[in-house]
Amino acid sequence: MCGFLIASAIVVPSAPAAARALQIVALGDSLTAGLGLPAGQSFVDLLQKALRAKGYDVAIENAGVSGDTAADGLARLDWAIPDGADAAIVELGANDMLRGLDPDATEKALGEILARLQARHIPTLLAGMRAAPNLGEEYQKRFDAIYPALAEKYAVILYPFFLDGIAADAKLNQKDGMHPTEAGVEVIVERMLPSVEALIAKVKR
């Protein structure tokens, strides 16, 4: 009589893969890059920290380059915001204004950025800027109109003024009067947080 040994395979279910963190890219200038601030204290760093404290699993890439104009941001858009990005924050235009560039050129460059992101189905938050009063009433009127017009045209979330709450406040700006201190960045993040949460809500995963 022959005996047969039957080996049964035990299948152990594998653990589910960890969900990927939401990838947000902040495309901007020195205000995004964190010029003059200690490491880990930039707008991007503190925004990511604030979102994680509220339970959001996010990773924000700092694609800020000091001195960039809107046209500079457009020139590096495709590699600065790579495939796989879930959402974008666009903060550009301050250097255009400081250099007195034609608002039409700024609007055209920003519009092209938003159009390309729209074509790639990347939800976007547009952070606005306002012209300094010393540039004259006509320039101020034309420049300030750029951001609400583009937000309406491309159906993106608008945060009207990136420096809201800190502009012209010596206590919240560095000695140059243009870049926020760590305390200034905290004010920016606190005020912008609801708009960024609205951006996250638009992400389809």
37 and 182 Cβ atoms separated by less than 8 Å: yes
User: How many angstroms separate the CA atoms of 111 and 70, rounded?
Assistant: 10
Catalytic option among 29, 30, 45, 86: 30
24 and 60 Cβ atoms separated by less than 8 Å: yes
Catalytic option among 8, 96, 179, 195: 179
Judge whether 179 counts as a catalytic residue. Answer: yes
Catalytic option among 8, 14, 121, 176: 176
Judge whether 176 counts as a catalytic residue. Answer: yes
171 and 31 Cβ atoms separated by less than 8 Å: no
Judge whether 30 counts as a catalytic residue. Answer: yes
Other Cβ atoms within 10 Å of 111 Cβ, number: 17
179: exposed, middle or buried (C-beta count within 10 Å: 0-12, 13-18, 19+)? buried
**Smallest Cα–Cα separation from 196: which of 52, 89, 106?**
89
Annotated catalytic sites, by residue?
30, 176, 179
